[in-house]
Amino acid sequence: MNQRLSRADTIGLGLMTFAFFLGAGNIIFPPLEGQMAGTNVLSAMSGFLITAVGLPLISIIAVARVGGGLPSMTTDLPKGTGTFAAVLLFIIIGPAFATPRTGLVAYEMAIKPLTGVLEGDNQLELFGDITLDKTQALVTTLFFAVTLVFSWSRGKLIDSIGKILTPALFLLLICLAIGVIVAPQGTLSSPAESYQEMAFTKGFIGGYNTMDTFAALMFGMLLVDILRSKGVTDPKATYKYLVIAGLIAAAGLAFVYISLFWLGATSATVAPGADNGGVVLAAYVQALFGQPGQWILSGVVLLACLTTAVGLVSTCADYFSTLTPLRYRQWVIVLSIICALVANVGLSQLIALSIPVLMALYPLAIALVALTFVRPWLPNPRTSFRTVMGVALIFSLLDGVRSISALQKVDGIKWLLDKQTEYMPLSGQGMAWVLPTAIMLVLVFLIPAKKSEQGSPSKA
């Protein structure tokens, strides 16, 4: 059987991989990171690229290595772990964070700059200190109503539109990158206090926000299936083409993120004190291209957010319908309603709420990917997986708790976190998990093998 792809198919696979990752939500994080990093932009950008570009693509290859996605990657963990992890990841990229974020990005970047809504004149008091942004509520409700309509038939129509929108969004970002280089709207400013000494780790953790590693663990097998449909079934050939596709996608993502970081680093004049990257990007486009540029940005971002939302709702509804008595369309309704409600916490608030969750779960994903790669050489995979993942879980939970400022006021928790910072390297930077997990990943090679130990999972 022919195990080779044509050059056109190889490039197409790479562009498809790039399209899987690039969404309107991804472009809101680098501008704010860049603005806060200021003169330390290169350091922050390096950390961001590791977790937002390198790790997701390595994760795809890890999925291909075992040939079965999360269930195969978690065979050495307690029974049901694979299903639990999949449900958790679908909740995160679905109704909890990523999908509501698409509606908020559409509002912040596409609608708000055109309407000129003033925060103080647009608030509806509900009870106590809780208020509701009326325009935001209207826009996000309509957004997810349209999402529901397109998701009803599993997003078949919007899939075709998405094939046009991703190139359009990338073309717009290329024009923006050229504009940033040719006519920057400011100079590099002094870094924010937290970025003065920890720019790299702040960028590294900032890359968590893209959630692309989680997404890669979920759709990595889709790329393997695409290769199989084209006649590529040999594991070595599969790895070869996945690596090539990964390099193409990585080049595109790196270009987008680097240009947006530089945009953010030179945006202090046009978007001072911005609380999210959507505000930074919209203000920069307005300053660079004027109102016509803002109209173009609004149109592309609005439609790109819609295609992403439809894809996520359809995927989540399809998966949850296999686990519960509810049918696909019933899940579409439930998810659309939940997303519309969650979206009304506001973009900056939603990002802030997601940080503790990502701080707790991203290290686990990183550890799982690392273990998947070294599994063939582990003497006792079952014990090794459980030990390394257990250690990563303990310290990542502490990092997650540390990122919740309210909990740091509780005496017992504050004492525990203070002790952690005192004795654990990188704890103050939110990366206490790194050293103990790395050490344990080395020590598990010393665990003796058991006769009953199963062999490696079959490769793709």
Q: What CATH number should be reported for the domain holding residue 260? A: 1.10.4160.10
Position 221 scores a pLDDT of 73
Q: Domain total for the chain? A: 1
| Range scoring the smallest mean pLDDT among 139-143, 155-159, 187-191, 372-376 | 155-159
Give the pLDDT band (50/70/90) at residue 459. very low
Residue 386 within a domain: no
What pLDDT is attached to residue 368?
94
Of 2-6, 101-105, 364-368, which range is least confident? 2-6
| 383 assigned to some structural domain | no
| The pLDDT of residue 412 | 65
- The residue segments making up the domain with residue 311 are 7-344
What pLDDT score was predicted for residue 32? 93
Contact assessment for residue 395 and residue 367, using Cβ atoms and an 8 Å cutoff: no
Is residue 419 domain-resident? Answer: no
Average pLDDT over residues 388-394: 94
Is 427 part of any domain? Answer: no
408 in any annotated domain: no
In a domain, 47, yes or no: yes
pLDDT digits (tens, 9 = 90+) for 106-163: 998 888 888 765 555 566 555 455 556 788 888 999 999 999 998 887 766 666 666 7
- Inside any domain, residue 396: no
Residue 354 maps to a domain: no
Task: Round to whole Å and give the CA distance between 82 and 74.
Answer: 5
pLDDT of 100 reads: 94
**Whether pLDDT at 460 is above 50:** no
Q: pLDDT of 22-47, one tens digit each?
A: 877 788 999 999 999 999 999 999 99
> Quick one: pLDDT at residue 162?
64
Please write the tens of the pLDDT for every residue from 64-73.
888 767 878 8
pLDDT over 70 at 172, yes or no: yes
